[in-house]
Structure 1
Amino acid sequence: MDSRANAAGPLRGVRVIDLTAMVMGPYCTQIMADMGADVIKVETPAGDNTRYISVGPAPGMSGVFQNVNRGKRGVVLDLRTEDGAAALRALIETADVFIHSMRSKAVVKLGFGYDDVAAINPGIVYTNCYGYGRRGPEADRPAYDDTIQAECGLPAVQKQLTGEANYVGTIMADKVGGLTALYATMMALFHRERAGEGQEVEVSMFETMASFMLVEHANGAMFDPPLGPAIYPRTVAPNRRPYETSDGYVAVLIYNDKHWNAFVNAVRPPWAGELYATLERRARHIDTVYGLVAQTLKERTTAEWLALFGELQIPAAALNTPDDLFDNEHLNAVGLFETVQTRYGPVRFPGVPNWFSRTPGHVAGPAPELGADTAAVLDELGQAGGVEPVVGSG
């Protein structure tokens, strides 16, 4: 029986058939699971590659895999066999959402393209997670986070900022793509609630990240004729970085006129004057402004600056490492982290970052071992005796 049946989240009663792998799709469906959906993760006999890419308490149970697949039920089906395909077709009959991250030609060849799935369940929301959209010339090109970061302009922007082309230190394309797949799927479900019809949804990392990057960087290039290059100058100013203090670093953005005037009146830096008195003027000289502030902030300790910025209500922060987040007073006070007991011991997950007054979400449970729920899920379908897919050990 579905262990999520009594979940209080807003997606209670929604069943998701999840054929995604790596991070983009699994991150999308992990959030659905935390919000109460019954997410059935369908893997090949070899398992999702993410099982093996980082440290974990057992083979095939890496930290990355566990975090983006928590709370799901794990089923192994060999879709190249008739038994495996028949089991998936039976699952599709019961589902609200079908989501995959295979290439278009591959999923169609297996017999689970949109037309095939909609013929089984016309009301289903069918979400494709791709590297590139099918309507463009790159439709079947392979993609990973690094290549999409490069293609959407992130390393080029980093080069303007630091002098060297670099990826950002997080798998941004995968995660932004996953969040986009989530909201797109939810919009399709909302339409189904109103109109009673399912539909096909397509989310690609490249289009998603191009749109994401151009939110601010489109800037002058949006106009006809262009009023400037596609870049937002403030974010690529070389002096835009955490400021060095007399004993460490502090992050602060003294941005609007209220904050600027409060800072200038409290600190009285000798370089302050009419040239930088308004936001419009500071924006024209933004890198110079950052450099001048940097000189001034070297004069006091991090603690002294944080205390002053706190008094002035200017946004500022100390520099944390990812390890620091687990002991962060605010994050622990709001209950971000949830500890789940697993067969390998407790796992402290970074949990649901939003809050609902009536339908709160929670970490849905541990991630499944490979094929752990195959028999139980097929038994629910009344298929356990007639379908013999390959079941993973573990």
Structure 2
Amino acid sequence: MDQGPLSGIRVLDLTSVIMGPYATQHLGDLGADVIKVESPQGDSIRGVGPNGQKGLGPLFLNLNRNKRSVVLDLKQELGRKALLKLAEDADVLLYNIRPQAMERLGLGYRVLEAVNPRLIYVGAYGYGQGGKYAADPAFDDLIQAASGMAHSLSLAQDGEPLYIPITIVDRSVGVYVYGTICAALFDRSRSGKGQKIDIPMFETMTHMVMGDHLFGQVFDPPQGSYGYPRLLSKSRRPYRTLDGYMGCTVYTDAQWQRFFCAIGRATLMDEDRRFSNIGARTEHVDFVYSFIEKELSSRTTAEWVDVLGRADIPCFPVHTFESLRLDPHLADIGFFSMQEHSEVGSITSMKHPAEWSRTSPSTRHQAPSLGQHSREVLTEAGFTLAELDHMEHEGII
């Protein structure tokens, strides 16, 4: 089985819940040897959902494939020394507790750098260390509130602030962490040197949100208010058809001309200046979206998919979770597959989304049980059987 482009890279994954594990699963899918270092209590996400009592709930299973689990009590000196021993041959160490806690454990960057100067030492946590929130805890919901994301939904829905019902912060920052680690590995291949990298959730998501919504406030003096009008339009939502809902994006001038032809109003773009160009359409975005909404309510979803498809206008019926699972395109590419897990039986797995022509990502092994590989990994690091027995007796592994 192809081992992937990161084969030979070893990652010490000291993260838990979603953000860090999502990043390291991508690294594992690309072939890295990801060693998931857990406390004796294990990653709390193990207990969420069906089979949580086995420590193998559905979220954990789809965040931790291609990893080996090692239990180490890092609050005990022998556990700390064991981690430092593992770090000697590691390429990356990723943690997502607060940096102050890493320092208290005696695992700050200077300690790890002395052990392995080539180590890429990455912290992914709530807030950058130069500001007043530096020591504060953070979670997905909290950063949705802090970054303006929840506020943007209140403006778009003309109601109270809302959370997006996806762990959007954890997964977005997780992807950013994954990309940053790959870039750091590339830098080290040229410089031969490791480094310390901090990736704060608050700043990362503020960059994302305000990239859209600084808008007129980008300029000095300001040339308009905050908020990208197209995204904040109360009419920007899936459109109701005669028998359901669908997404439809008519965006460019050419697409609008084809849309008007498709609905039998070919001259409207010239007759109504609100449609004349992208600036005018943005200025009158509520009217524009309401116009599409009214038109789409006149036919069934299938009829519109046919009409708009022939006009080369982007559209898609609204999927439910159930229908998404059965999507024919995803079936063609084998996106969902049934795989066997030794502890919980058949599970649904999702393939890595990128397609590689040569070093293809793969699932080498399923998410591990707690401490499944403790002895295996520590034996590779040079610990003797007697040392491992002693550490187990002391509750360190």
| TM-score, L = length of structure 1 | 0.94
2:295 matched residue in structure 1: 296
1:3 matched residue in structure 2: none
Alignment of 1:81-96 (within 5 A): 81-96=76-91
Q: Distance in 1 between matches of 2:34 and 2:327?
A: 31
Q: Secondary structure at the match of 1:207?
A: helix
Alignment of 1:146-161 (within 5 A): 146-161=141-156
Structure 1 residue 58, shift from structure 2 partner: 4.7
Higher deviation after alignment, 327-336 or 236-245: 327-336
2:232 matched residue in structure 1: 236
Q: Which amino acid aligns with 2:128?
A: G
Q: Percent identity?
A: 38
2:263 matched residue in structure 1: 267
1:332 matched residue in structure 2: 331
1:341 matched residue in structure 2: 340
Q: Which amino acid aligns with 1:123?
A: R
Structure 1 residue 184, shift from structure 2 partner: 1.2
Q: Which amino acid aligns with 2:180?
A: A
1:381 matched residue in structure 2: 381
2:314 matched residue in structure 1: 315
Unaligned runs of 5+ in 1: 1-5
For the Cα contact (< 8 Å) 2:260–2:267, is it kept in 1? no
Q: Does 1:35 align with 2:30?
A: yes
Measured against aligned partners, the alpha-carbon deviations of 1:246-301 in whole angstroms (never above 9, x if no partner) come to: 11111101111111111101213599433213222212111101111111111111
For the Cα contact (< 8 Å) 1:78–1:389, is it kept in 2? no
Q: Secondary structure at the match of 1:293?
A: helix
2:241 matched residue in structure 1: 245
For the Cα contact (< 8 Å) 1:132–1:207, is it kept in 2? yes
Structure 1 residue 54, shift from structure 2 partner: 2.3
Aligned pair count? 387
Q: Does 1:119 align with 2:118?
A: no
Measured against aligned partners, the alpha-carbon deviations of 1:328-386 in whole angstroms (never above 9, x if no partner) come to: 11112123234331122122211200011111102342111111110111111220432
Q: Distance in 1 between matches of 2:41 and 2:376?
A: 20
Match of 1:98 among 71, 76, 93: 93
2:164 matched residue in structure 1: 168
For the Cα contact (< 8 Å) 2:257–2:266, is it kept in 1? no
Q: Secondary structure at the match of 1:137?
A: coil
Structure 1 residue 163, shift from structure 2 partner: 1.6
1:191 matched residue in structure 2: 187
Q: Distance in 2 between matches of 1:232 and 1:95?
A: 44
Q: Distance in 2 between matches of 1:37 and 1:364?
A: 11
Match of 1:47 among 42, 49, 55: 42
Change (3 A) 1:318 1:373: same
Q: Distance in 2 between matches of 1:364 and 1:179?
A: 21
Unaligned runs of 5+ in 2: none
Structure 1 residue 57, shift from structure 2 partner: 6.7
Measured against aligned partners, the alpha-carbon deviations of 1:72-109 in whole angstroms (never above 9, x if no partner) come to: 00000011112211211111011000111111111111
Q: Does 1:209 align with 2:208?
A: no
Q: Secondary structure at the match of 1:68?
A: coil
Q: Which amino acid aligns with 1:378?
A: L
For the Cα contact (< 8 Å) 2:216–2:225, is it kept in 1? yes
Q: Distance in 2 between matches of 1:206 and 1:389?
A: 38
For the Cα contact (< 8 Å) 1:269–1:296, is it kept in 2? no
Q: Distance in 2 between matches of 1:227 and 1:186?
A: 39
Q: Distance in 2 between matches of 1:377 and 1:171?
A: 31
